[in-house]
Structure 1
Amino acid sequence: MSTEGFALFDTPLGHCGIAWGDRGLVGVLLPEHSLAQTRARMKRLYPQMHEMPPVPEAQAAITRITALLNGERDDLSDIALDMSEVPPFHQRVYEVARAIPPGRTLTYGEVAARIGEPGAARAVGQALGHNPFAPVVPCHRVLAVGARSGGFSAGGGVATKLRMLQIEGAQIGDAPGLFDGDGPLQQVRNSPDTLADKPRMGQQRK
């Protein structure tokens, strides 16, 4: 990517934002309550950037993000992200999160174990709460113990998290319902293979 800027784009969830620089995407923003609010938040987050038509790499990411939010099963794990401003611990958390396929979930504790930090579930939650790349880094696929939804810092909060999981085919458990808050979720297990058997994904392009 030879320039930097940001753009807004429409999805089934509403208008999202995307920002890019020379080394990849620097941020993706899930919808605020309105297009104007999404634009205003992008300007606050990236005051040095101007809104402009997306460069080809950003447009390709927009197309794939929109497809994911339309129910297509694309894990987005090969989209280049610029994590130069992301703390090392957060980078490790995001790498594990990027390896979770659509329709599958892990708990905060399971992510902590996979980065070699058992007992760091709370720190994992904090790292995901500062995720600037959702849904390219799919923090919505990380749940609290007992397959409960946990928190979600993006616009719309937990309701947005649960809707994204529903779009991806995650089976919602018994009451409370989809938009009733911190309800149980049943993990989707599409095959007997575990995530530990899958190769790590989400390496940044050089």
Structure 2
Amino acid sequence: MQVMTFETALGRFGIGWTDRGLARVLLPGDDEPTMLERLLWDGATVGEPDRAIGSLVDRIEDYAEGERVSFDDVALDFGAAPDFHRRAYDLLVKVRWGETLTYGDLARRLGDANLSRAVGRAMGANPIPLVVPCHRVLASNGKPGGFSAPGGAASKVRMLALEGVSIGAPVGQLSFGFS
């Protein structure tokens, strides 16, 4: 895996990629040495982005500035992620900018409403947050629920605010904040 860090309006991001696609995203919250240590732990090396990774970096920078972006064309490498997690991530990448759903909604789409906790574990293990938008998954009461990135739920709320989502609005709906 090759890795790099880069600065955005939200702070420093880290990413890692393989020949198969994007394998890691680290959200802002750690300083560069800590982020590199986390990215380089398994034999990874600092790399130079190719055209596809360069385009991804540009889109993440645009996202951090509040621009509507899509990551639909990004090839993803989930490595050894369990099958259930992969199935959850495959469904989650279809949730668009400004949309939300609950852990239960995602569990039902996976075939069993009783899988909400398993969905939560999959979201917590998501190696590619933002691109696989686990920040768009909320608790059944419309509150943010957990978020394993630095800053926890406050980071999740901040990311959703960039997308025009107001926590407390009905799940699945936008709040445009018009005054």
Structure 2-normalised TM-score?
A: 0.91
Task: Give the corresponding residue for 2:17.
Answer: 20
1:13-63 CA-to-partner distances (Å, cap 9, x unmatched) read: 21111111111111111123322221221122xx31111221222111111
1:98 equivalent to 2:93? Answer yes
1:57 equivalent to 2:66? Answer no
**Which runs of 4 or more aligned residues in structure 1 lie more than 6 Å from their structure 2 counterparts after TM superposition?**
none
Q: Does the aligned pair in 1 maintain the 2:138–2:171 contact within 8 Å?
A: no
Task: Give the corresponding residue for 1:117.
Answer: 112
Task: Give the corresponding residue for 1:32.
Answer: 29
Q: Distance in 1 between matches of 2:70 and 2:136?
A: 11
Q: Does the aligned pair in 2 maintain the 1:90–1:127 contact within 8 Å?
A: yes
Extract unaligned runs of 5+ from structure 2: 175-179
Aligned length: 174
Q: Distance in 2 between matches of 1:115 and 1:150?
A: 19
Q: Does the aligned pair in 2 maintain the 1:109–1:118 contact within 8 Å?
A: yes
Q: Distance in 2 between matches of 1:124 and 1:187?
A: 17
Q: Distance in 1 between matches of 2:16 and 2:157?
A: 25
2:46 aligned counterpart, secondary structure:
coil
1:145 equivalent to 2:129? Answer no
Q: Distance in 1 between matches of 2:35 and 2:76?
A: 21
Task: Give the corresponding residue for 1:88.
Answer: 83
Identity %: 42
Which of 65, 70, 75 pairs up with 2:65?
70
Which of 130, 138, 156 pairs up with 1:161?
156
Per-residue deviation, 1:188: 5.6
Q: Does the aligned pair in 1 maintain the 2:78–2:127 contact within 8 Å?
A: no
Per-residue deviation, 1:171: 1.7
Per-residue deviation, 1:65: 1.6
Per-residue deviation, 1:73: 1.6
1:129 equivalent to 2:153? Answer no
Query: Would the alpha carbon gap of residues 150 and 61 (structure 1) be closer, same or farther in structure 2, given more than 3 Å must change?
Result: same
Extract unaligned runs of 5+ from structure 1: 174-184, 191-206
